[in-house]
Chains A and B, each alone.
Chain A
Amino acid sequence: MFLKNKPQMEVLIGPETLIKGDLLTKGTARIDGQVEGNVNADWIIVGETGSIKGEIKSRGLIVDGKIEGNISTTEIVEIKSHGEVHGNIQTPKLAISEGAFFHGHSHMVKKEGESKKTILPLSPA
């Protein structure tokens, strides 16, 4: 479906698997099973059967499954039509497909180069 990503697939969690604990990898993690814990990876792909309960930190995230927890990425968050996110999202780029579910806050700041339309008042240095 959306496997063609440049980084290596380091972690693959099958649909009949439950993992309790944090997951840390420098590569791509594809999750089709259940993870209860924080996930930290370069790219995270949550398949339709996948679910994560915990904080997520990555460069990019594609969700077609369920996520309960806050998300923080440096590049993009994409919620596909079967995707469900309960939690806050912090990302420069957010895409939500029709049919997707998102309940939470979205905090977006454009990367440099773009016209900075949303600048939060910074406290004096």
Chain B
Amino acid sequence: MQHTQEVDESQITTVIAEDLEIKGTVKFKSSLMIKGVLEGEIFSEGLLIIGPTAKVTATITTKNLISHGEVTGNVTASEQVILKSTSVHQGDITTPNITIESGALFNGACIMRREPKKEMEQRTLEKTPESEYSSDEEKEEYGEYSS
């Protein structure tokens, strides 16, 4: 299970240290790593990493989420969610891609939407009125007979 690349901490713009506690709304664009305690809301267009020591109680909207710690709250990630083996997640997850490592604890709903599959479903639905095909064939047949 070591296939996923470990995140280089020096590459992360903001790190919330272990002894830091935050209450409120957090907004960021690039990357944030939480090692401390956070309560409130998180809005991001980038990467959110929740460290193994972190405790987050928040509604999270982000692009990517990698969690090693404890999260309570609903998560919406536009790209992907990774729950590492040490993570504990209580709340719903909405994302197109999810990876859960063995050992992680997840209680909540997982809502996944994938565009290509929806299109395929729609196509099959559109196909169902077969009367069009048969009527076309009939017209051709009649055409042949009449000529």
Residues of A within 8 A of B (CB): 76, 78, 93-108, 110, 117-118
Contacts and interface: CB of A to CB of B under 8 A. Distances in A.
Contacts of A100: 98-99
Contacts of B114: 101
A118 B98 contact: no
Contacts of A102: 98, 110, 112
Interface residues of B, number: 21
B109 A95 contact: no
Contacts, number: 52
B33 interface: no
A107 B92 CA distance: 11
Given A93-B103, A102-B98, A118-B88, 15 more contacts: A94-B100, A96-B98, A98-B97, A98-B99, A100-B99, A101-B112, A101-B114, A102-B110, A105-B109, A106-B107, A106-B109, A108-B106, A117-B70, A118-B105, A118-B107
Of A96, A101, A107, A117, which is in contact with the most chain B CB atoms at under 10 Å from its CB? A96
B101 interface: yes
B106 A106 contact: yes
Contacts of A118: 88, 90, 105, 107
A65 B99 CA distance: 17
Contact of A95 (B102, B107, B110, B112): B102
B101 A95 contact: yes
B95 to A, nearest CB: 10
B108 interface: yes
Contacts of B107: 106-108, 118
Contacts of B22: none
A103 B111 contact: yes
A66 B85 CA distance: 24
A118 B106 CA distance: 9
8 closest cross-chain pairs (CB), A and B: A95-B102, A96-B100, A98-B99, A106-B106, A105-B109, A102-B110, A103-B112, A108-B105
